[in-house]
């Protein structure tokens, strides 16, 4: 529960033991957890009712977790869905690709369930959903950021940014005036 609201978390993991362990532990922390063994069934459910956060394995049968992430980020109405990638792919390039595709966090297997739950809470606390009625366009001098469309303009000229660069810029703008690590 974050801000007095029960948050829904979808877990997309093809290994039943991991999926069930995560669902149990998240429910013990007050979250509503729904389990999916493949990306297709999860995407079908997301299109009906999006969760607050998605825990996503990358190596799934059929559609990969990376492809699911791409589909979610391409859908304007799902652009603020928080995603934590949970995968055995731990190389730097894998993490970079995950963040560039729009992951909010990246956890490698084997992992600590307690640490993952803390990361879930942190992502949900700093995340902003459309239901929070948050300003979707920010302007600071010549810089204009359109949060919904992930577009940035300087002097009305569009600037091309990767997903990670956009997130970093947004973080800096949202936390302006504070020292960032």
pLDDT tens column, 46-105: 988 899 999 999 889 899 998 999 889 888 888 789 999 998 887 888 888 888 888 889
Residue 38 has a pLDDT of 93
| Rounded-to-integer distance, Cα 108 and Cα 29, Å | 21
Contacts of residue 157, defined as CB under 8 A and 6 or more positions apart, other chains included, come to none
The whole-model pTM stands at 0.68
Between CA 22 and CA 10 the distance in angstroms is 10
The first and second tokens of residue 116, run together, are 């993952």
Instruction: With H, G, I as helix, E, B as strand and everything else as coil, classify residue 58.
Output: coil
3-state SS class at 51: coil
């Amino acid at each position: 529960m974050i801000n007095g609201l029960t948050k829904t978390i979808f877990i997309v993991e093809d290994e039943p033991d991991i999926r069930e362990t995560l669902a149990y532990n998240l429910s013990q922390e007050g979250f509503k957890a729904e389990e999916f063994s493949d990306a297709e069934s999860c995407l079908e459910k997301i299109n009906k009712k999006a969760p607050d956060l998605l825990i996503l394995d990358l190596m799934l049968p059929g559609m990969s977790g990376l492809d699911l992430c791409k589909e979610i980020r391409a859908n304007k109405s799902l652009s603020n869905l928080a995603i934590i990638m949970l995968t055995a792919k731990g190389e730097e390039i894998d993490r970079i690709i995950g963040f560039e595709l729009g992951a909010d966090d990246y956890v490698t297997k084997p992992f600590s369930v307690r640490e993952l739950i803390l990361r879930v809470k942190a992502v949900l606390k700093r995340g902003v959903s459309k239901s929070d009625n948050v300003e979707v366009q920010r302007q600071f001098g010549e810089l204009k950021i359109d949060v919904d469309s992930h577009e940035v303009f300087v002097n009305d000229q569009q600037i091309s940014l990767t997903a990670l660069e956009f997130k970093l810029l947004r973080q800096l703008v949202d936390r302006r005036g504070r020292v960032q690590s």
